[in-house]
Amino acid sequence: MESLEKSKSVPVAARRLLGSARVHLLGLDIDNFTMDETLSAIGEIMERREFAYAVTPNVDHTVKFRKSQAFRDLYAKATLVVADGVPLVWASRLLGTPLKQRINGTDLFERSCEYAAQRGYSIFLLGGSPGAAEAAASKLSLRHPDLKIAGWDCPAYGFYKSPEQNEAVQKIIRDSGAEILFVGLGAPQQEQWMCDYGAGTGAHFAIGVGVSFSFVGGLIPRAPLWMQRSSLEWLWRLGKEPRRLWRRYLLEDLPFFGMLLRAMLKRSTQRQAQDSL
């Protein structure tokens, strides 16, 4: 995406949210919010009337964050950072800096739409697999009759590599008048796109939601609640989409556990040193 002209109004560094006590976890600085507090934070962002975006770190993001300076830069510019992943919550407790709650990305998508309906904000759904955004919009309209859905678009894969296609997508969103933008392009493409071009859409807030359109639209069934709460949702998803996810879950995410082990050993060494004083 480096070849495209980027939005000039994206801030160099994100403005902090009021009342945010961030937890430093495996290199990440995460807003320690409950779901209700996260929605309040979105309300604060909307009142500012200037573009901001959110990221939702999970195990995959944590590994990418450690390996990639570009990904770290994306996080540095995000105004809202909430943990989407039970392993991160468990890790925070093991390291003595407990997060209040897991903020699941799909749950946040649905709750944000409910919040938008209550406050009169219009939304736009960008990306996802073919038909997913439209299916999600249909389900959301039934659940929240007052929700203003400005539109949805599922551009061709890699549209952001073409200046013409990329500008056309931004114009569609600008012309819709959407205030909240949900981006389902997968990591790290959705985070990069929000950072580089989100302000060009005219929206005030954007959040990357991955495959959430397919979950909400009913194209892919979500894991049972007991699996979600037991940090086994990845196993459910692997069973549903083995070709797409096997490498991510079985190979690429493994360094997370080494990172956690090293952090635990470092914490133990520091505590022993303090006790010996």
Instruction: Name the pLDDT band for 2 (thresholds 50, 70, 90).
Output: very low
Instruction: Name the pLDDT band for 13 (thresholds 50, 70, 90).
Output: low
Q: Are 240 and 211 a contacting pair, CB within 8 Å?
A: no
Average pLDDT (192-200) is 97
Rounding to the nearest 10 degrees, give the CA dihedral for residues 162, 168, 170, 173. Answer: -150
Mean pLDDT, all residues of the chain: 91
What is the structure's pLDDT at 14?
66
Alpha helices, DSSP H, located in the chain: 35-48, 59-67, 69-76, 86-94, 105-119, 132-143, 163-176, 189-197, 212-217, 225-229, 233-240, 242-247, 255-275
Question: 228 versus 181: which is more confidently predicted?
Answer: 181
What is the structure's pLDDT at 219?
95
Tokens standing for 142? 């039934």
Average pLDDT (255-259) is 95
pTM above 0.75, yes or no: yes
What is the structure's pLDDT at 230?
77
Domain residue spans of the chain: 22-267
Say how far apart CA 130 and CA 233 lie, in whole Å.
23
**Packed helices 255-275 and 86-94: angle between N→C axes, nearest 10 degrees:** 20
Instruction: Name the pLDDT band for 161 (thresholds 50, 70, 90).
Output: very high
pLDDT (tens digit per residue) in 120-148? 999 999 999 999 999 999 999 999 999 99
Instruction: Name the pLDDT band for 4 (thresholds 50, 70, 90).
Output: very low
pLDDT (tens digit per residue) in 49-90? 999 999 999 999 999 999 999 999 999 999 999 999 899 999
Q: Are 208 and 183 a contacting pair, CB within 8 Å?
A: yes
pLDDT (tens digit per residue) in 37-54? 999 999 999 999 999 999
* Closest by CA position to 167, among listed 202, 197, 187, 190: 197
Average pLDDT (272-277) is 80
Percent of the chain surpassing pLDDT 90: 77
Q: Is the pLDDT of residue 227 over 90?
A: no
